[in-house]
Structure 1
């Protein structure tokens, strides 16, 4: 049964060549036929600008088009491509903006998909999990009742990992609500007094602009001076706090450094010797060339040959197993972070439920080691 939903929005300008359409539909077909997306519903909706084109069905087609504008003749301007096992209803509705002659406002409803079944790792950036001690205890109790041996019935590491992740996802959906994030536009060093002073300063400035009075201007200048002084004072304390906590909280330090940067990420173009490139593959080759120039592969200075031989035989040994106590210890020592990691797992959940999660994780690690297979995830 499919559990997740991928929604793509497309636009192809009028008069585009057939090569543009072919590349676009080839990409859709490639995604729809990939094994790792078998548990995904796929929907592509957009403006394709194909007037008077007659669609011919293909039995091998993974995605079925629904024409929104199809009164008398087939006009494939706005299209919805859906997975063949999705039930979609399209109907005209009252437009929020002025209606277009060629683009009718529609209701788009999928009748056989559970909209509340948010996945573990694709929740909107405007939403976050509302954890508390009560629902963490309920998660732990629920996981305690799961028979992981019966869940991991085969030796397919990838299938078992997906099973593990889906169980955690369903557990979070059942016990931990999703709430809208409280957006804070103020800098980190602002406190209640500074925010209140800023509001008073802005009101005083509006009053002066409206009246032009010298008294109102003097009052505004006094508030502005107080605001600037307090803001600088709090900022200096904030920076000193980051410096003093650098060893214990390096994440806060780098978050501050990144916030001061004008650009985020790697440079668009990288240079090495006389070569430069902005293509990812060529950039990787430039790094490889650099590392080859400074690395001596024939040098084994300071390394005992017997140690290298023993290390080689150790690597070839498939009897190595991870101990469940070690996994439990590592999970218990995780930082109680309420934000998901890159895979969508919440450290606070892994730590709180370490006793019940150490068994399946140990099984997955050992299955990976014994089979010599390492997941891309």
Structure 2
């Protein structure tokens, strides 16, 4: 913003990973702009200001507003950067390494030093201009600025009175949850005879009987995942360099464009530059076409496959979900993905369920009556599994199941009436993938615990 017609003004650019919003109540009548930025260390107020020389009114107005903000938000980090045009103030390093002002003598400098001490601010810029003066100041309410240095690649042309500087704010960048490395499992390379023998050696009765459904599912999946990690070949997939909507031809054109650009930089051949220009225009057309087609595909399949929408949003955010590593709800703090998901579930539960209904704890029966289900019931549940659907939260694919073109094994569940409990004995043919286990367990839960049994 600027009150001039021939230049001037201030600007604040914020990275996409930061959550920022304007703070118009913090602006004064001087040339300044203020933002409220949410980051890892809390709410930070960032202000950029230009105070022209020889204008005592503008600096007085700005300093009064700065004092009121400091009084209103004593616990928040306040960061003020700008051109103050105070050449009579000399900044020198004290024994503890901090910058201390001295000098002054004029009205503008005296008013600034008075406000500077009243607000208990810190100044971090020690890079002087060609006249050995420091006109641009970096003020902060705490000692959080690190590595103030000359900027090697400024965005605009240099001014000998105002050298470009850059600095880091300690802890300002938010730490976001990152996905675990993506592993690709090759189920077609598994020695299923060995896998099935190891699977059958587990005593599921001892593992599952007497546990609640949640505990039984956790034990079940933990065992299956350990077996898969041990017996299924896998490798870590490289990170995606291009957005998810890029086609193979688009990625190939981009690589060719970059190759000819490097050749032109090295050899200076005009033919390479012309080829680069042609490929550049082509890639622009291809990327726009790919993105439009991808959006249309998402819209047409939104009901059947909503995950594609969130994949698109994630890629637009630079490959991260935008969820901070620490969150809190109702006084409960969470610092890992599992606990954060639990907080979201708690919130949705409070929105869609009235009161605090008591959920019965469903435990595998130890004695007495036990529900019975046969092989036909299990097969009926398995046949309802959508083999074309993507991986679920258990990260196990559902592409292979009994009755598929690869063959059909029959997982069986047998009833041990002597113990009054249900014992699972899974038997798979070598041609059937082990991911059938998780689908079977999820489906037969309806048979184990019918609504009348709770």
TM-score bin, normalised by smaller chain: 0.3 to 0.5
- Higher helix residue share: 1
TM-score scaled by structure 2? Answer: 0.36
